[in-house]
Structure 1
Amino acid sequence: MLGTLTQAAAARRILDEVDNRTDALIGVLTDWSAINSGSRNLYGLLRMEKAIVAHAATLGAEVSYVDLPDTEMVESNGRVANVPNGRAIRLIKRGTANRRVLLTGHTDTVFPENSAFQKAEFLSETHLNGPGVADMKGGILVMLSALEAFEKSPYANQLGWEVLLSPDEETGSLASAGLLAERARTAHIGLTYEPALADGTLAGERKGNGNYTLVVEGRAAHAGRDFDKGRNAVVALASLIGEFADLTGGRPGITVNPAVITGGTATNVVPDHAQCRINVRLARPEDAEWLEDRFDEILGLWNAREGYRVHLHGGINRPPKILTPANLALMELIRDCGADLGFEVRYVPTGGCCEGNNLAAAGLPNVDTLGVRGGNIHSADEYMLTDSLPERIRLSALILMAIADGRLDGYIERGAGG
């Protein structure tokens, strides 16, 4: 790939310069990791936003912000509350170019404001441990650094790009889903910066994801004096959980995972409330309708019982990511770019979900694990392999140059969104 670019010598020179900034970039990442930007920590997310925008100032992009809507959350008492989500960041340059790339990522982490895990430190010369170093403050740094290298290249004016960073990916992108779909429809190619696996493997096809809260309302009564007058919501929920879990495998790849249960008040009271938070995964888009129909059947039978009311909140928030011909062509281009840089790019299907699902659902071919190599994400053992920072910057910079040089024009000519 590199040797066949029309400006190969200039491209090689720019890629060779990336290593010169590695130490400084690790310093930036260490500072970013010390900013707690857990989902819905609005103050921390605002601090993270300011740090990113300041770092990106050299790109000369147009900067704007999009306030996201509140989303609903079912509280432990069954009441539905509105939850604020902050705002998304948009950086745009040459937005009307004939070739347009959308680069996405998220500023939030899974670590709440009161987490004990608040700073980065080296576990060894090659392992940096810290909140968000891999997922995905390291990825954002790869993205912005690759754009900086690309903007120095002779290909810069041949490609328009937009960076979209959301503050709610770790909670399912519920508030940013509409914005992701809108911006996906204006682009030709999507690049997302979730971390790669430690060995460099990237995600290919992805399952879809849904999150639900199953709420059961029964009838309270004294557990000794009036037991027969009560309707035990906890017992009903236990039966319902079994019925929902039995849907696992009803179609290939479907899993239903009841995960968090609450209910009841005191042992001498027949409980009138219980609920369970449930995650589902599905392999094909049409599985969603099948699953929803089965849920409706179960709820209908329970709501026909005297003394019970059953509600199901939530839905499928990320459809499955299916690989289209355009997506396969992008994956092959990235494989060729990796080979030119001296490493093999492999892809594996995964049950995990990310913004790549949202982009694919909007028709945008994308690869969504272009961030740093690392592991143990979503835990206090999260780490990034430091040598992957320059490696992945070079990879993304070369991908951008190849797209700008026309290597995917056969798909881009079909229109925005693939």
Structure 2
Amino acid sequence: MLAMRFIIRPPLVAALCAALLGPAAAEPDKALLDKAEAMKGPTLSLLKTLVDQDSGSTDEAGLSAVAAVVADELKELGAKVEAHRAAAPGKAENLVATVEGTGKARILLMAHMDTVFREGDAAKRPFRIENGRLYGPGVVDDKGGIALGISALKILNEIGFKDFASLTLLLNSSEEIGSPGSRALIEETAKAHDVALNLEPGRPADGLVTFRKGSGRAYVTVKGKSAHAGVAPESGRNAAAELAHQVLQLGGLGDKDKGTSFNFTVLKAGTASNIIPEDAEAIADVRVRTADEFDRVEKDLKEKSQEKAVPDSTVRVRLERNFPPMPKNDRTDALAEKAQAIYGELGRKLTLEGSGGAADSSIAAGAGVPAIDGLGIVGGEIHTPNEYGEEASVAPRLYLLTRLIMETAKAK
């Protein structure tokens, strides 16, 4: 049998490796990476100042204090800072800061100043760093996003990067309660931009959010007739019993295959144990992937609720739409792929996720602007006393955000 010998030369080896392993990641921008690492300290210092100030969604004084700190930082960068007073609970101001450039792209950054925490929580749990993690009320949701956004603007200012038409940072004061005082402002501002980058927390798996469900609430109210529960219960019309019936039958309005959830979360009925309740109410949390599912849920809600168990009771329903869906599409995919490539320069893998939670990026997307979020500091356990951020993610995430702004601006 004839033996055969193959000689594989070095260029062929390189070609085979490239074919098997895929293209190698580009080298990082060393000068920019150095800037990001040098900016870590000032970023954490600013983050401490923000975290140690209470700023719940209805805490006007606390939100004003945060806004004052942020406005001073932005004005030092030469940004035009405008305050827009909200009509929402607390009536705290929203901030819109704009830096003008010499290019064509109009880039919007978004973050929010409010937290879910109560007045006094910052004093009880001030900012601290422990075992490589950052702690404190709102440390990543979304004080970390604010600090990261301002630091990215500082780096761009230091290197003299102006290849954008405008770079805007919008800071919302009511995101945690559904953005009632800023929705119109976000829509109007988003429509004036080409892309929206939301600085919500990076996911625990070091991820971005590329699509979100829309959110809403369904309200079911029942009117019955009160009566003595022991003497003449049959003369009443039990609103609680009818509500229980409605909760059971309407709880099936979700559709798992379409990603629609319909979950009753609040129920109220009765005033005393010996009185047949005359009034009852339930509230359901509704999440949808597509806007047409809101229409379907609303239609089915009205039709199904007419099937009653308690005669002569009255049932009224309504669907309140809050955040629209942020759908996955070609434009958001392109943004995400660009972000993945940039993160790959650092030898890091950026995961891409969807979320059942809503955020202001959904409002921007609903206005027709491509949006991604989760560009803030990586962290987890948000909305809890154990909310944390990964200290080691600060410089890489700052590099990612700054490079993504630069690449988005150059692509216009």
TM value normalised by structure 2: 0.87
Q: Is the 8 A contact 1:65 1:90 kept in 2?
A: yes
How far off its partner does 1:381 sit? 0.5
Which of 237, 260, 267 is 1:254 aligned to?
Answer: 260
Give distance in 2, aligned partners of 1:96 and 1:272.
Answer: 66
Shift of 1:116: 8.0
Of 221, 227, 240 in structure 1, the residue corresponding to residue 233 of structure 2 is: 227
Tell me, in whole angstroms, the C-alpha distance in 1 between the residues paired with 2:168 and 2:227: 59
Choose which of 48, 72, 75 in structure 1 pairs with 2:66.
48
Cα 1:114/1:297, change in 2 over 3 Å: farther
| Post-superposition offset of 1:85 | 4.2
- Matched ranges for 1:114-263 at <5 A: 115=121, 118-122=124-128, 124-249=130-255, 252-263=258-269
Give the match for residue 76 of structure 1.
none
Query: 1:46-125 to 2 correspondence within 5 Å?
Result: 46-70=64-88, 83-94=89-100, 98-113=104-119, 115=121, 118-122=124-128, 124-125=130-131
Counterpart amino acid of 1:41?
A: D
Q: Tell me, what secondary structure is at the counterpart of 2:291?
A: coil
Structure 1 counterpart of 2:323, one-letter code: R
Task: Give 1 or 2 for the bigger CA radius of gyration.
Answer: 2
Question: Structure 1: which 5+ residue stretches go unaligned?
Answer: 71-82, 410-418
Give the TM-score normalised by structure 1.
Answer: 0.86
1:321 corresponds to 2:330 = no
Two-structure CA RMSD over aligned residues (Å): 2.5
Give the AA of the match of 1:21: M
Per-residue CA shift, 1:94-134, capped at 9, x if unaligned? 28962100111111111122558843344623111111111
Instruction: List per-residue Cα deviations over 1:42-97 (Å, max 9, x = no partner).
Output: 22111111122122232211111112234xxxxxxxxxxxx444221110122896
Counterpart residue type for residue 44 of structure 2: I
The CA distance in 2 between the partners of 1:96 and 1:285, in whole Å, is: 38
Offset of residue 155 of structure 1? 2.9
- Following superposition, the deviation at residue 225 of structure 1 comes to 2.6
Q: Deviations over 1:201-248 (max 9, x none)?
A: 111222221123332222222212332222222111111111221112
SS in 2 for 1:231: coil
Aligned counterpart, 1:32: 50
**Does 2:365 align with 1:360?**
yes
Aligned residue pairs, count: 389
Q: Structure 2: 5+ residue runs without aligned partners? A: 1-24
Query: Which whole-Å CA distance do the structure 2 matches of 1:298 and 1:96 have between them?
Result: 57
Question: 8 Å contact 1:145–1:393 — kept in the other structure?
Answer: yes
Percent identity of equivalent pairs: 28
Alignment deviations for residues 321-370 of structure 1 (CA, whole Å, 9 cap, x no partner): 21222221111111111112331112022222211111111111111110
Residue 17 (structure 1) aligns with: 35
